[in-house]
């Protein structure tokens, strides 16, 4: 009973400390968030002014209720309520809620502190003030305190704090930019900026999916067809050739020769696609290409003839990626228990049958995993392969234009950021659906080999 009473008192002390800071955060909204000069006198704008709205600078500037600050104050209020209701909440749930709310509050007040001067456009001598900074510091104290409580309750361990830098990287680099998906639904006006540009709904997607009213001649159909067919060919042919090369490498008994072949087959993987483009150009260029020199009086203008490029691009991709896939399959083959092969030899099984009935079935998990990973990117294409190797020839766009090259040209050549974003959004959504569908099929057929 005594231990329970001590635990309750300690718990009350933890949350009372946070309650005081939460009250200070709310009260700090009366502090100056920005200052301006009017009539040679300096005036301040508080958080309350930004919440309620105010006319300043002799009517030249009208402040309306700031939505961001409203959400931040709501988060602070929830922090206070959570600390007050400590007795009805579990310690872990209360500390977790405080952590999330304090992060929201800190982020929003940091945003307010950096953008508050923009709200005073039209006033003179505008400067940010210390009000939002104080609230940010108080919010950081609550965040640290709530994380400490979670650590004391053994919800968090020391290793959890070690992943914070990695989490911050993923949030900043991978997740915050996802807000840019809104560009796909706007008509970007650079004079207004991205946030204030007008919404146009699905108009950008209509441009993408319609060309003279015919879907089969639209940009969306061409880039989708090319992306899917090329990647399907890459997956099927690349897997088959990779398995064959891996088996051949495993059959080389000399360690010296095996290392030599591994290095030789992996070398193209290390070559830049720009260099690969010039190697291809050296073979098929109109004037000095090796192929055209062999053809003599009947040269082929490869860079303006579509029909050859599906084969050229598939060959270049397989040649470049063969070493990587072969070594993966080789490592899987090496990991197979050799006693199985020895038992097969004793039974008089030929080498071909050993490959057919032992090696290939045991490679099944590796094949399925690699295929699923490749299907996960089936709606993405190797930009260098489809842009650099064909030398960005306009005559070949019908067979070389993929989603990635289309996005690049829309953004960098046409300067149409909205259409580029619409194509990128289409790519992400359909790619995600394809991954889920294929994983569902694999899960139905063989649950153990599904990704999730």
Q: What is the pLDDT at residue 237?
A: 94
The Cα–Cα gap between 414 and 207 comes to 14
Is 60 exceeded by the pLDDT of residue 11?
Answer: no
Q: Can you give the residue range of the structural domain that contains 234?
A: 208-449
Same domain flag for 268 and 358: yes
> What CATH number does the domain containing 303 carry?
1.10.3720.10
For the four alpha carbons of 370, 371, 372 and 373, in that order, the dihedral sign comes to positive
Q: What is the pLDDT at residue 313?
A: 95
Same domain flag for 117 and 220: no
Mention every residue, 6+ apart, whose C-beta is less than 8 A from residue 266: 323, 324, 327
Same domain flag for 241 and 382: yes
Q: What is the pLDDT at residue 43?
A: 84
Is 80 exceeded by the pLDDT of residue 134?
Answer: yes
The Cα–Cα gap between 264 and 257 comes to 10
Residue 19 located in a structural domain: yes
Residue 131 located in a structural domain: yes
> What CATH number does the domain containing 95 carry?
1.20.140
Closest to 332 measured CA to CA, from 302, 287, 300, 370: 370
Residue 197 located in a structural domain: no
Same domain flag for 98 and 22: yes
Same domain flag for 143 and 213: no
Same domain flag for 77 and 213: no
Same domain flag for 157 and 212: no
Mean pLDDT computed over 141-168:
83
Pair type for strands 54-56 and 61-63: antiparallel
Residue 183 located in a structural domain: no
Residue 83 located in a structural domain: yes
Mention every residue, 6+ apart, whose C-beta is less than 8 A from residue 189: 196, 197, 198
- Residue 400's SS3 state is helix
Number of domains in the chain: 2
Same domain flag for 6 and 154: yes
The Cα–Cα gap between 47 and 61 comes to 16
Mean pLDDT computed over 424-451:
81
Same domain flag for 231 and 158: no
Residue 173 located in a structural domain: no
- Residue 143: strand pairing partners: none
User: Of 135, 162, 189, which closes a domain?
Assistant: 162
Is 90 exceeded by the pLDDT of residue 140?
Answer: yes
Residue 195 located in a structural domain: no
User: Of 99, 132, 162, which closes a domain?
Assistant: 162
Are 289 and 212 in contact by the 8 Å Cβ rule? The answer is no
For the stretch 364-375, what's the b/e string if a residue is b when 16 or more beta carbons lie within 10 angstroms of its beta carbon?
eebbbbbbbebb
Is 80 exceeded by the pLDDT of residue 216?
Answer: no
Same domain flag for 150 and 222: no
Q: What is the pLDDT at residue 9?
A: 47
pLDDT tens, residue by residue, 184-204: 999 888 888 887 888 898 888
Q: Where are the alpha helices (DSSP H) in 285-350?
A: 290-295, 309-334, 338-346
pLDDT tens, residue by residue, 252-292: 888 888 888 888 888 998 899 999 999 999 999 888 888 88
Same domain flag for 352 and 427: yes
Burial of 361 (0-12, 13-18, 19+ CB in 10 A): exposed
Residue 176 located in a structural domain: no
Average pLDDT, the chain: 85
């Amino acid at each position: 009973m005594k231990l329970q009473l001590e635990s309750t008192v300690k718990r009350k002390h933890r949350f009372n400390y946070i309650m005081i800071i939460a009250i200070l955060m709310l009260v700090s909204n009366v502090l100056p968030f920005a200052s301006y000069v009017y009539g040679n006198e300096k005036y301040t704008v508080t958080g309350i002014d930004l919440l309620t709205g105010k006319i300043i600078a002799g009517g030249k500037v009208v402040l309306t209720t700031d939505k961001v600050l409203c959400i931040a104050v709501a988060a602070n209020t929830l922090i206070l309520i959570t600390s007050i209701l400590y007795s009805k909440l579990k310690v872990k749930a209360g500390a977790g809620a405080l952590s999330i709310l304090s992060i929201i509050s800190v982020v929003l007040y940091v945003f307010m502190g950096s953008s508050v001067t923009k709200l005073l456009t039209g006033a003179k001598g505008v400067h940010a003030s210390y009000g939002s900074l104080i609230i940010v510091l108080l919010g950081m104290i609550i965040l640290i305190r709530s994380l400490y409580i979670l650590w004391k309750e053994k919800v968090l361990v020391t290793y959890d704090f070690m992943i914070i830098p990695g989490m911050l990287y993923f949030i900043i680099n991978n997740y915050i930019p996802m807000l840019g998906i809104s560009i796909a639904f706007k008509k970007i006006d650079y004079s207004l900026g991205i946030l204030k540009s007008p919404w146009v709904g699905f108009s950008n997607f209509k441009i993408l999916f319609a060309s003279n009213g015919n879907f089969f001649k639209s940009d969306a159909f061409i880039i989708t067809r090319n992306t899917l067919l090329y990647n399907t060919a890459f997956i099927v042919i690349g897997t088959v050739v990779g398995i064959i090369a891996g088996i051949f490498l495993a059959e080389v008994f000399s360690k010296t020769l095996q290392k030599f072949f591994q290095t030789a087959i992996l070398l193209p993987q290390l070559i830049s696609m720009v260099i690969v483009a010039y190697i291809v150009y050296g073979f098929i260029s109109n004037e000095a290409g090796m192929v055209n020199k062999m053809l003599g009086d009947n040269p082929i203008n490869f860079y303006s003839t579509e029909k050859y490029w599906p084969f050229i691009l598939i060959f270049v991709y397989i040649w470049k990626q063969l070493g990587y896939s072969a070594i993966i399959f080789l490592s899987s083959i090496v990991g197979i228990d050799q006693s199985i092969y020895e038992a097969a030899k004793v039974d008089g099984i030929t080498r071909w049958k050993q490959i057919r009935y032992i090696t290939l079935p045991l490679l099944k998990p590796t094949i399925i995993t690699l295929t699923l990973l490749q299907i996960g990117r089936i709606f993405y294409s190797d930009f260098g392969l489809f842009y650099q190797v064909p030398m960005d020839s306009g005559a070949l766009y019908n067979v070389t234009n993929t989603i990635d090259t289309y996005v690049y040209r829309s953004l960098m050549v046409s300067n149409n950021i909205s259409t580029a974003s619409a194509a990128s959004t289409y790519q992400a959504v359909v790619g995600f659906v394809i991954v889920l569908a294929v994983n569902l099929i694999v899960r139905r057929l063989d649950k153990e080999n599904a990704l999730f």
